[in-house]
Every structure is written in C-alpha cells, then in structure tokens.
Amino acid sequence: MEGRRKALLFTLCFFFFSLPSLSSLPAYQTLVPTSHSLPSASPISFQPESEPVSESLIGSGSDSESSITLNLDHIDALSTNRTPEELFSSRLQRDSRRVKSIATLAARIPRRNTTRAPRPGGFSSSVVSGLSQGSGEYFTRFGVGTPARYVYMVLDTGSDIVWLQCAPCRRCYSQSDPIFDPRKSRTYSTIPCSSPLCRRLDSAGCNTRRRTCLYQVSYGDGSFTVGDFATETLTFRRNRVKGVAVGCGHDNEGLFVGAAGLLGLGKGRLSFPGQTGRRFNQKFSYCLVDRSASSKPSSVVFGNAAVSRTAKFTPLLSNPKLDTFYYVELLGISVGGTRVPGVAASLFKLDQIGNGGVIIDSGTSVTRLVRPAYVAMRDAFRVGAKSLKRAPDYSLFDTCFDLSHQNEVKVPTVVLHFRGADVSLPATNYLIPVDTNGKFCFAFAGTMSGLSIIGNIQQQGFRVVYDLMGSRVGFAPRGCA
C-alpha cells in the first residue's frame, strides 16, 4: 500500500513538473494603434560614395576579425508617387508570388549532382534555381569592379547566386543606376568552363568559342537572368572583397524592380556568405526596423560583430535535397501565455527526404504556417482578442480589427517556441495596420504547402544572427539600436 502511494505521488509530481512553465509568459501586452501607420516611401539612407577605400584589402586570406556594416532600405524607397495603401497592396502581391515560388522550389525533385560539367554552347532547358529578385524586400548599395561603380542590390536569404545586369545588354530591365560595364573594370575576370566554380552552378553553360562559363537562373514566375559567370571585386564602404563569383547578366527579364541585381545570402556555396566564409568567420546578421514606427535604418553586418550577446539560438537543420534555405525546428506556439494545443511540433517536421519544415526568410513579409497550425493559433488569438471590435477581412488576412480612435489596446501575447529559443513577439510584429483608417490585421496566414515560413514582419526589431560556423540562427530582441 505504501509503495502504491509513493508511486502515485511520484506520478503526480512528474505530471506537474512536466507541464510547461507559463509564469514567465504574460497573457497580454499593450498596442498603441495611434503610433503605428502604414509606412510611406521613406528616403534612402545610404552613406556618401566618396568615402575613401582602405588599402588593407579583405582578399583571399583568413582575416576573420574583419566586419562590415551596411544600411538597408526597403524596396518601397525606390517607388515614387504611390500612396501607402498602394505600396502595401504591392507588397502583399509580391509576397504571394514569392511564397508560391518558394513552395515550388522546396517541392521540386532532389538536386542533381552539382559538380557536373557545364553544357557546351549554352542552355537547353529552364531550371528553377532561386527566387525572383523582384520579390526581395530589402536592398543596399555597394561598389562593383575597379574603379568601383556603385549600384543598388537586393539582399535575399532565399537565393544563392550573386548577379547584376551587365553591358552590353541584349535585354535589360530599368534600374536606378547606369548598367555595369565589365569592360571598364580592371578586376573583372571570366571563369573557365573547367573551373570548380563553374561546376557548382545548378545550371551551367559553356561559351565554346571563349571556353568561359555561363550561368542561368530561371524563376517560377517566368523571370530569368542569363550571362557570363565571372569573378569581381566588391567594395563595401572602406573594405574591398576580391574574387567574388558573380553572374554578369546580359539577358534579364521579368518582375525585377529598380535594383541592379541580387546579393544572395542563402546557405549554398555560391552565396555571398558561402564564398566569403573565411573572411567573415561565416557569420552575418540583419535587423529590420518597423517602418511604421521608426525612422532608423535597417542594417546588415558581416563578420564577428554580427553576433549579438543577447541572442537566443536555435540549431539549423539540413535539408537533403535543398541547401539554399535556413531550416529551423519550431516546437510550438503560445498565445495569451498558454501553449496552443493544436500547434504540435509534428506539423512542422522536416522529413528525411526534405519535405515540410520551417524556414527563416528575409524576403517573405507575412509568416505562413501550415493550415492546421494557423487555424489553431488564429482561433486562440480571436478568443483572447474578443473584446476588440472586429473588422472585415483584408487580402490574405482573415482576422482584422477596427482600432480607430483607440489610444491603446490590450492584445494577447504571441511566443514562437523554437528548439532552444523562445521568441516573444512585440505586438507590432503580429497586429499591423493595413490602411490609414485604423484597421489592423493579425499578420499570419495559412498555407496548403507543407512548408512554413517565418517572414520579415515577425522578424522586425530583432537582430537575426546567422552563425554558419556554429550551424545556428539567433534572435536578439531590440537589436536595431
């Protein structure tokens, strides 16, 4: 009898101690609607280009102590004469295209051998090999070539190739700066077809007359860029990075907007972090400001300075069929201080053949969760926000509120539980303005794809740290200071 009592007592103790601790998770937080509005096209925030370049070059050595910080601006800054509502509507349209492109890329057959020889004479087929630069949301400015020609370039964690438009142009879209002419650069050098760099391309071709490497990136929406694959020097403020493999696009067409090209920040070997790993110790981070409430610039940092001491880290996962995206393990979600029962870790599992999972993406705006998880989370939020006045749906958002004439409101808290890192979101990261009349919507959406995506609205205000050497991603709150 005594043994049974002890066993029962042990079971009860185990049950209570195994329950998730909610004492540190507040149920509500304050949102001040009047301090947040739809952002307009703010001025570009870049430093003057006349800043002298240091003679200490960051070349092919292993100077892991070097760090570079660059300002980022939202792609809306390249738009003129458009209202905040028009800019937001365009953003959601770009977002929809990007999510569709990501889902197509993630669902494709496993990647073929990346060391195969390039096809002679050019290309015979279209390969889905990245995401449309037109769907990238943030861009920066740096120099290309010697002497440096400064251009705007979109940064994208969902792409692996660095490319820009080049003269002579067979087909080029309109960009803000003169098109880069490699003939005027002393450091431009084509890559031989036999080079290991050429063999790393997903879709490589060979100019049989010159025996030089050709690249092709085709996108799910029909956009593409084709041209020479070469090495070039990139200039970031006072630092020059030599020998970066870049696509010099002579034939570019599609939904590309304003910028000269793309700086791929994906996990693949030909992305900028993949190529410059030794120089920047395989670390970079960015912090995206809430443009509806702050005039500070967003920023990206390469090198050891990218790692914040306050960051909470979660391990990176490997996808056996696709190495571009940054996969993480999402275990659950809390709303109003309580774990949502219908949001199970199994819904976000990356299986052995590379299907499903969760990625962190800089170019997707609105977080997409697999449909069952989203519905459970949304319903929990609606219950917690039942005191707020509901408003009609808006675009992809099915949970909206009329907060006009409200000085402040209490909203349920939202916490994302990654393995090893609980990320508590500010209210402004999930209840956002969608017009200028006080309508706010719950900034999550469901997806019928098996892939969930953590978007940049939910990342706002955090310094998101990519430590590729440590195979981890970190989140540091209030990281844009």
From 236, 217, 235, select the one nearest 227 (Cα to Cα).
Answer: 217
Q: What is the residue-wise DSSP string for 95-150?
A: HHHHHHHHHHHHHSPPPPPTTPPPEETS-SS--B-S--GGG--EEEEEEETTTTEE
Burial class (CB in 10 A: 0-12, 13-18, 19+), 398: middle
Q: Cα-atom radius of gyration of the chain, to the nearest Å?
A: 24
Given the DSSP bridges, would you call strands 283-287 and 189-190 parallel, antiparallel or unpaired?
unpaired
What distance in Å separates the CA atoms of residue 373 and residue 379, rounded to the nearest whole number? 10
Q: Confirm whether 422 is a catalytic residue.
A: no
The catalytically annotated residue of 73, 76, 361, 435 is: 361
Query: Is residue 17 within a helix (H) or strand (E), and if so which, with residue range?
Result: helix 2-18
Contact, 333 vs 377, CB < 8 A?
Answer: yes
Alpha carbon distance 481, 473 (integer Å): 20
Catalytic annotation present for 467: no
In the three-class reduction of DSSP (H, G, I as helix; E, B as strand; rest coil), residue 52 is classed as coil
The number of angstroms, rounded, from the C-alpha of 184 to the middle of its chain's C-alpha atoms is 33
The active-site residue, picked from 73, 95, 156, 323, is: 156
- List the structure tokens of 465: 């740290």
Which residue has 């029909």 as its token pair?
A: 222
- State the catalytic residues: 156, 361
